[in-house]
């Protein structure tokens, strides 16, 4: 994955750091944008996946909107140059301060998650003399068939308004004077690799859209959330997700009038493959049954394996011939937690102290979820085009 020139340019750098392949990011964004434009679809980038400044700027420059989940993300999106008219604000626990910030910027829409939240937005908008545009997040009870920590569209999840409360929500929307309903919002989970799941989502969206329209409510926007998965096992073969196939599913199965807009909130699929966590072997260790590689990166830099038992491909970064004898290593970090492991029984060329190791597909939910636990250093990053 790294060519010799790249290896030469990173080999002397202090580790660990995130390495972002900006050319791949640009190619990915272009593919996604073209595939969406073909159908007139709107894509909001989910900042939560990665809000690294250069990444955000590039995404903004390509004409994506922004999907935010905190007041700070809304402010960051504005500071990066995303037009307020393309910003959505989601989340089950928006504070009054965050809602006020978003109202002052006059963002495109709040994705509201409960009737009580709608009442609070209505009150705060009234105080400012604004009308708040909202999309109602419906929990459609669709199984995203992904890890249970990142599935969000089931009845037992905390997200969205349960369908049993929609009658009440529709009444509230009619009665609250400082709120304008622009659309319906759905998001069923993340890292979804089976496109049939999105087909099932379309069926539910059609059903609830009709339900509202039968009651005389105009639905301008159908926001179907994010969730398109990436190939963690083959990052070089499938470095860019199949955006064409993904958008085609919605084009084919979503029933919409020509004036109805379809919006997406993609995070992972846009940024995951361009990021790698580069780390150095600090120590090698052989136990009775195991060989360990102890890295200078740990769960503090990339939390996904510890938190979700997530798989990331692990490779040695080397300009030497990688054929030769291999060993099965448990690749672990330096943090005082047994869960601080990146992979067990990983087949790697025999490695030594000082070797560079790349943990692949780490551009989404990597750097943003880093922590200072153990008073670790602030995570560093480098960009392929500026080293």
3 state SS for 270-327 = HHCCCEEEEEEEEEEEECCCCEEEEECCCCCCCCHHHHHCCCCCEEEECCCCCCCCEE
User: Do 25 and 57 contact (CB within 8 A), yes or no?
Assistant: no
**Smallest distance, Å, CB 319 to ligand LLP?**
31
Residue 177, phi-psi category: left (phi > 0), alpha (psi -120 to 50), beta (remainder): alpha
**Smallest distance, Å, CB 182 to ligand LLP?**
16
Quick one: how far is CA 381 from the chain centroid?
A: 18
Quick one: how far is CA 272 from the chain centroid?
A: 8
User: Do 184 and 190 contact (CB within 8 A), yes or no?
Assistant: no
Applying CB under 6 A, the span of 224-232, 292-300, 332-340, 379-387 interacting with ligand LLP comes to 224-232
| CB burial readout 138-160, b (16+ within 10 A) else e | bbbebebebeeebbbbbeebebb
**Smallest distance, Å, CB 191 to ligand LLP?**
6
- Taking alpha carbons only, the member of 235, 158, 187 closest to residue 44 is 187
**Smallest distance, Å, CB 385 to ligand LLP?**
24
Q: Does 241 bind ligand LLP (CB under 6 A)?
A: no
- Taking alpha carbons only, the member of 172, 170, 195, 164 closest to residue 184 is 170
Binding flags for ligand LLP, 41-60, as an x/- string (CB under 6 A)? -----x--x-----------
Q: Among residues 66 and 293, whose Cβ is nearest to ligand LLP?
A: 66
Q: Does 365 bind ligand LLP (CB under 6 A)?
A: yes
Q: List Cβ neighbours of 127 (8 Å cut-off, separation of 6 or more).
A: none
**Binding residue (CB under 6 A) for ligand LLP from 153, 227, 235, 333:** 227
Q: Among residues 24 and 228, whose Cβ is nearest to ligand LLP?
A: 228
Query: What number of chain residues touch ligand LLP (CB under 6 A)?
Result: 21
**Binding residue (CB under 6 A) for ligand LLP from 150, 154, 249, 282:** 150
Residues 240 and 174: their CA atoms lie apart, in Å, by 43
Q: Which two tokens stand for residue 17?
A: 């750091």
Q: Does 190 bind ligand LLP (CB under 6 A)?
A: yes
In Å, what is the CA distance from 379 to each residue of 11, 12, 277, 365?
17, 17, 10, 13
Q: List Cβ neighbours of 110 (8 Å cut-off, separation of 6 or more).
A: 88, 89, 90, 94, 99, 102, 121, 132, 133, 134, 135
**Smallest distance, Å, CB 266 to ligand LLP?**
5
**Smallest distance, Å, CB 361 to ligand LLP?**
11
Q: Does 225 bind ligand LLP (CB under 6 A)?
A: yes
Q: Among residues 268 and 291, whose Cβ is nearest to ligand LLP?
A: 268
Applying CB under 6 A, the span of 96-104, 184-192, 212-220, 330-338 interacting with ligand LLP comes to 184-192
CB neighbours (10 Å) of residue 235? 22
Binding flags for ligand LLP, 257-296, as an x/- string (CB under 6 A)? --------xxxxx---------------------------
Q: Within 81-140, which residues bind ligand LLP (CB under 6 A)?
A: 90
Q: Does 304 bind ligand LLP (CB under 6 A)?
A: yes
Q: Among residues 262 and 356, whose Cβ is nearest to ligand LLP?
A: 262
Q: Among residues 124 and 230, whose Cβ is nearest to ligand LLP?
A: 230
**Smallest distance, Å, CB 184 to ligand LLP?**
13
Q: Among residues 58 and 293, whose Cβ is nearest to ligand LLP?
A: 58
**Smallest distance, Å, CB 198 to ligand LLP?**
12
**Smallest distance, Å, CB 22 to ligand LLP?**
20
> E strands along 39-91, which residues?
42-46, 65-68, 87-89
Q: Among residues 24 and 266, whose Cβ is nearest to ligand LLP?
A: 266
Interface with ligand LLP (CB under 6 A): 46, 49, 67, 90, 150, 152, 187, 190-191, 225-228, 265-269, 304, 308, 365
């Amino acid at each position: 994955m790294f060519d010799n020139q790249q290896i030469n340019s990173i080999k002397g750098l202090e580790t660990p750091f995130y390495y972002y392949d900006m050319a791949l990011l640009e190619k990915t964004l272009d593919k996604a944008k073209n595939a969406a434009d073909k159908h007139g679809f709107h894509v909001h980038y989910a900042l939560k996946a990665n809000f690294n400044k250069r990444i955000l700027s590039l995404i903004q420059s390509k004409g994506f909107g922004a999907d935010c989940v905190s007041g700070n993300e809304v402010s960051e999106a504005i500071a990066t140059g995303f037009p307020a008219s393309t910003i959505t604000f989601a989340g089950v626990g928006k504070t009054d301060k965050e809602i006020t910030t978003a109202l002052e910027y006059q963002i495109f829409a709040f994705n509201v998650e409960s009737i009580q939240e709608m009442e609070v937005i209505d009150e705060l908008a009234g105080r400012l003399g604004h009308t708040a545009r909202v999309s109602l997040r419906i929990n459609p009870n669709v199984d995203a068939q992904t890890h249970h920590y990142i599935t969000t569209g089931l009845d037992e999840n905390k997200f969205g308004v349960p369908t049993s409360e929609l009658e009440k929500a529709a009444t509230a929307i009619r009665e609250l004077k400082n709120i304008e309903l622009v659309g319906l919002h759905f998001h069923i989970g993340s890292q979804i690799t089976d496109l049939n799941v999105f087909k099932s989502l379309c069926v539910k969206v059609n059903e609830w859209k009709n339900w509202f329209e039968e009651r005389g409510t105009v639905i301008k926007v159908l926001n179907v959330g994010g969730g398109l998965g990436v190939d963690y096992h083959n990052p070089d073969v499938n470095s860019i997700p199949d955006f064409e196939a993904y958008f085609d599913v919605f084009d084919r199965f979503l029933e919409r009038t020509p004036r109805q807009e379809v919006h997406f909130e993609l995070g992972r699929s846009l940024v995951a493959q361009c990021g790698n966590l580069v780390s150095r072997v600090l120590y090698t260790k052989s136990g009775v049954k195991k060989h360990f590689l102890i890295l200078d990166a740990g769960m503090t830099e990339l939390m996904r394996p510890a938190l979700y038992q997530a798989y990331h491909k692990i490779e040695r970064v080397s300009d030497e011939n990688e054929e030769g004898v291999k060993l099965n290593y448990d690749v672990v970090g330096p943090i005082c937690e047994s869960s601080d492991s990146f992979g067990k029984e990983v087949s790697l060329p025999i490695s030594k102290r000082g070797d560079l190791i790349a943990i692949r597909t780490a551009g989404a939910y990597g750097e943003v979820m880093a922590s200072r636990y153990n008073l670790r250093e602030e995570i560093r990053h480098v960009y392929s085009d500026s080293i």
